[in-house]
Structure 1
Amino acid sequence: FQLPNGELVPRHFHVTEVGMITKNFIDCGGTLRNEEVINFQLWSANDYDHRIHPEKLLHIIELSEKTLGLPDLDIEVEYQGETIGKYGLDFDGTNFLLTTKATDCLAKDNCGIPVSKPKVKLSELQTAGSCAPGSGCC
């Protein structure tokens, strides 16, 4: 597992939890929301000789799926840094990547937050707004 800063989670990590988290909430615009994710918690202890074998990790995941009846959802990984960090999960062909997550306003239209305008390259503007011989613009 690779952290967003490029560091690898120590090889002696433990998988301490696998489960589903359901979050029911009201956003700042008053809309009732329900989010569900599969939670996967990693923990590093001071047992430096510990290694979780791929078969053991697969067994933990399969047991969780079977016992809890887990659906196919996005995975959120918790990992202990200075505080418990929550990460998305991706794979680059070699490592599982812990990806950053950010807070966001889910009701921008109700909160007066302008929706971001599309970014246009200046070079594209000049081409699109000009007439060339034979282009049919004149």
Structure 2
Amino acid sequence: MERDVQQEVDLPLTYYELLVLLSKNEHGSLRMSELAELTHTKPSRITHAVRKLTEAGFVERRHCETDRRSWFAVLTDQGREVLQRAGAPHVASLRENLLDLLTPEQHDQLLDISRTLLAHLAPADPLAREKTPTNEVRELRAEL
């Protein structure tokens, strides 16, 4: 799946996923600390990734007006274009390499297993409940 995204837009899958997270926010922006929480990644890795995305023109960094210590990553128009170009091939790859391999019953089992694991691994983390494999599979099913 990463190869499919890289072939389409020359972007690592993890960077693509950061762009997706930004695009799902109403203003196309998130605090850097929120990106780290959502991705369960160290802030230093997010800083590095956002720097690379900024150099590519896909993201801008902006100071938070209410807390000058905080930074926002903001999706640019060029970043939105990259998401549009990579979106269809990424969904097709997910379908081909994951969803099409499973029967409807197996989809349901996967959802149940995902819920159980996430409830155990992140019981108090509302961000983890927001973006679960369960919700992602539902979104993919809706797109298909």
TM-score bracket for this pair, using the shorter chain length: under 0.3
Higher Rg of the two aligned structures: 1
The TM-score with structure 2 as length reference comes to: 0.25
